[in-house]
Amino acid sequence: MHEGGAETHDLAVAAGKQADAAKVQSEQAIAQTQKMTESLKKTGTLIGNATEQTKATNKLAQQATRQNTIAAEALESEERPWIGCEHVNIMAKVEAGSTVANRLGYKNWGKGPAIHSKILYQMAPFCGPFPIHPPYTVLPDERPLSLMPNQSIETKTIAFNTALTASDLRKGMRVCDIAVALTIR
């Protein structure tokens, strides 16, 4: 029995040592789990911060793209050709029997050349009240031309389709309320 008691004691001591070792391992596992949890929390915080930074960077990229577009449009607008009427040259006195021969002077006011321009031009008399939608019969296209910056050109001479009458002039035409149709393509 004595031998059985000693073996039981040895087994109990061994079991105690095993329990102590298991407890140490358990405590180490708990400590490791806590460290991993803290590490995961920090990683989660880093991911959240990185996500916010990515969103902010995307917003900055969108703003930069928008600013780039605005700058490109401003440059295009500044450097493009701007063609417009410079003057109307009426060749003779406006009177009864006159067809009011005239030329339109137009100019490239912009900074860039107008490479392929077509100017369509017409003047028409409207005696009496000015119509809401004036009828025009615009001249056929002239040949395309190029206009350099600050270059001025006059159209060929055109005239009203019919001569003005004394009756037209008595109806209160202020230079016959001349309407100019100018189309630039």
Among the candidates 48, 79, 110, a domain finishes at: 79
72 and 117 together in one domain: no
Q: Which domain holds residue 88?
A: 83-184
- Pair of tokens at residue 144: 């395309």
Average of pLDDT values for 115-142? 66
Mean pLDDT of all residues in the chain?
Answer: 79
160 vs 153 pLDDT, higher one: 153
The band of 51, judged by pLDDT with boundaries at 50, 70 and 90, is very high
Domain count, the chain: 2
58 and 100 together in one domain: no
95 and 69 together in one domain: no
Among the candidates 62, 79, 96, a domain finishes at: 79
pLDDT at residue 1 above 60?
A: no
131 and 89 together in one domain: yes
pLDDT at 185: 47
90 and 75 together in one domain: no
CA separation for the pair 13, 18 (Å, rounded)? 9
87 and 177 together in one domain: yes
CA separation for the pair 76, 130 (Å, rounded)? 38
pLDDT at 184: 53
Among the candidates 79, 108, 142, a domain finishes at: 79
pLDDT at 135: 62
Average of pLDDT values for 27-48? 88
CATH of the domain at 101: 2.60.40
pLDDT at residue 43 above 80?
A: yes
pLDDT at residue 2 above 70?
A: no
**Three-state DSSP class for 86?**
strand
Q: 147 has which bridge partners?
A: 114
32 and 89 together in one domain: no
pLDDT at 53: 93
**Three-state DSSP class for 65?**
helix
R_g (Cα) of the chain, nearest Å: 46
pLDDT at residue 120 above 80?
A: no
